[in-house]
Structure 1
Amino acid sequence: MYESDNAADVYDLVYQDRKDYRAEAELVAGLVRSRRPDAATLLDVACGTGIHLEAFASQFDHVEGLDLSDAMFSAARRRLPEVTLHLADMRTFDLGRRYDVITCMFSSIGYLSTGPDLERTLQSMARHLTPGGVVVVEPWYFPDTFIDRYVSGHVVTRDGRTVARVAHSTREGDTTRMEIHYLDADKDGIRHHDEVDRLTLFGRDQYESAFTQAGGQVEYVTAESGGPGFFVGVWP
């Protein structure tokens, strides 16, 4: 997914119009501070183009990001040249330091394929926490909350450029198959880009088990916006 600079640019244009990243960062900071008031350092896993990370920088003294995609990593580097970024896999990363908070936003955890992958990811996060550290994961939908054959669309126009995004999501066993098409138009013409993303429909019990096996005490917090909510884990 998003393995070119242009795709990352289109992603930014669409989602900055659809989402309030700053409000989401403030919400997560509140969840963290109610459990760890002195939290000062944060690692955002699967940070993408760095928009959440940029918002977290106003909430915490020191932030860093991690992503597996070269294109997303490059976009985050352009946005946040002074922030330390790591090109690494969320399942196996080893950064040699610890953080008070580790986040994984925008349902990025759903791109893991198996339960063991989910467990390995939480174990990697746990290894990078300071004592009393907090992990906040925004999950993908659960098997019982996913809407099969769901269609979504969005159009944004900015600075003489219009991008339309249409997505169709279907369920294949415990996996979401999301087919996405983009039309990207400006004075030079119209371009079409399409992709198929697959996200795993982990059950709530699988998330909670992964947190617990990694040594954390976890709570599921529902989202007032109707989104997938958050798993918030605290480690000794």
Structure 2
Amino acid sequence: MYSTDHAEIYDFIHAARGRDWAAEADDLAKLILDRRPEARSLLDVACGTGEHLVRFATHFERTEGLELSEGMGRIAEAKLAGGTVHSADMRDFDLGTSYDAIVCMCFSLSYTRTVEELRSTAASMVRHLAPGGVLIAEPWWFPEKFIDGFVSASLAEEEGRAVSRLSHTVKDGRTSRMTVRYTVADRSGIREFTEHEILSLFSEEEYKAAFAEAGCPVEYHPGGPNGRGLFVGVRP
């Protein structure tokens, strides 16, 4: 779960890395509306700071988020001007309602530690999906595509603030372990912090099986907004 320090700089550093949340949300909305033109409601699972939700609100009448990180959820709520961000664990949640579309982006599913947790998360999502509803999920790298020892570096700058991000990711059995070191310089001084993320290396077949077992078969679409592809399905 992301720390408060990370939440506060998340949008700033990832925008500098080239993320365009509005364009991504527009593309996702098209995928949804092509399959369910009458879609009016959407749930963004593991919505982070809510950048996708801000744009989704221009496409759907009711948009809500679900986020476990308190810092991320607080930022998302502030952006949505009265919109709802549920504080809950995606592995097992019950919101008492259903949605025409559910999305789970930015490899959030890979934070589940086991295939059983992946299946539980898929089941929770599908339970909230209306019949004929559209589900879209973005995976982490499949085992055969993961680059062991991958290194990345980014720098974001604006007047009075600069943030650097260095990451190193290694394979550890069926997981990848990412170490991310941040340096933040602003008018108050310079501070550093390090995040450690464990991301499961599920196979394409394991993702598909989890959603099929939950009652919403999905197809894998290569490419996607971040090169890892998307799983897209419609609940019968």
TM superposition score category, shorter chain reference: over 0.9
CA distance in 2, matches of 1:21, 1:116: 30
2:6 partner amino acid: A
In structure 2, the gaps of 5 or more residues are none
Tell me the number of residue pairs that the alignment of Structure 1 and Structure 2 aligns: 235
Cα deviation digits, residues 169-220 of structure 1 (max 9, x gap):
0000110100000010012211101011000000000000011101112111
Is the partner of 1:144 in helix, strand or coil? Answer: helix
CA distance in 2, matches of 1:224, 1:113: 24
2:46 alignment counterpart: 46
2:111 alignment counterpart: 111
In structure 1, the gaps of 5 or more residues are none
1:123 alignment counterpart: 123
Q: Does 1:185 align with 2:178?
A: no
Is the partner of 1:23 in helix, strand or coil? Answer: helix
1:232 alignment counterpart: 232
1:17 alignment counterpart: 16
**2:16/2:154 contact within 8 Å kept:** no
2:138 alignment counterpart: 138
CA distance in 2, matches of 1:11, 1:137: 21
CA distance in 1, matches of 2:202, 2:59: 30
1:112 partner amino acid: T
CA distance in 1, matches of 2:58, 2:187: 36
1:73-88 matches, cutoff 5 A: 73-88=73-88
Is the partner of 1:34 in helix, strand or coil? Answer: helix
1:8 alignment counterpart: 7
Is the partner of 2:208 in helix, strand or coil? Answer: helix
Shift of 1:74: 1.2
Shift of 1:40: 1.2
**2:224/2:230 contact within 8 Å kept:** no
CA 1:114–1:181: 2 relative to 1, 3 Å: same
CA distance in 1, matches of 2:103, 2:26: 13
CA distance in 2, matches of 1:34, 1:141: 26
CA distance in 2, matches of 1:101, 1:162: 37
- Identity among equivalent positions (%) equals 47
1:149 alignment counterpart: 149
CA 1:69–1:225: 2 relative to 1, 3 Å: closer
Shift of 1:224: 5.8
Shift of 1:225: 5.8
Instruction: Give the ranges of 4+ consecutive aligned residues of structure 1 lying more than 3 Å apart after TM superposition.
Output: none
2:164 partner amino acid: A
CA 1:194–1:124: 2 relative to 1, 3 Å: same
Structure 1 stretch displaced more, 56-65 or 174-183: 56-65
TM-score relative to the length of structure 1 = 0.96
RMSD of Structure 2 on Structure 1 (CA) = 1.2
Shift of 1:228: 0.6
